[in-house]
């Protein structure tokens, strides 16, 4: 939990931006916002393991699986999952 620890949160974001930027050089990706979002979702899910979530009201799962559910939904819609995977790996 980053509540009251702003410096730790900023360092996490800085670490994520640097790592995502280094990976983006090799994958030739230009917009890194969604990868950073996936990184934050992955970290949030790991820090809140007991939170139960529901996706579109069809099935429930625990918070650590949220990035994977979002990745599967993105794949189902036919979107590129490169940015999603980069964010999960960096997280």
Tens digit of each residue's pLDDT (9 = 90 or more) over 7-66: 988 998 999 999 988 988 888 887 888 888 889 989 999 988 899 998 888 889 999 998
18's tokens: 């640097």
- What pLDDT score was predicted for residue 52? 93
- What pLDDT score was predicted for residue 83? 85
Indicate if the pLDDT at residue 1 is higher than 70: no
Instruction: Give the H/E segment covering residue 29.
Output: none
Question: How many whole angstroms separate alpha carbon 36 and alpha carbon 51?
Answer: 22
């Amino acid at each position: 939990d980053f509540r009251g620890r702003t410096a730790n949160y900023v360092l996490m974001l800085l670490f994520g931006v640097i790592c995502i930027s280094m990976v983006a050089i090799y994958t030739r990706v230009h917009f890194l916002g969604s990868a950073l979002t996936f990184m934050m979702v992955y970290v949030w899910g790991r820090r809140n393991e007991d939170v139960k979530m529901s996706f579109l009201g069809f099935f429930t799962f625990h918070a650590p699986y949220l990035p994977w559910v979002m990745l599967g939904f993105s794949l189902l819609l036919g979107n590129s999952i490169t940015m999603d995977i980069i964010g999960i790996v960096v997280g």
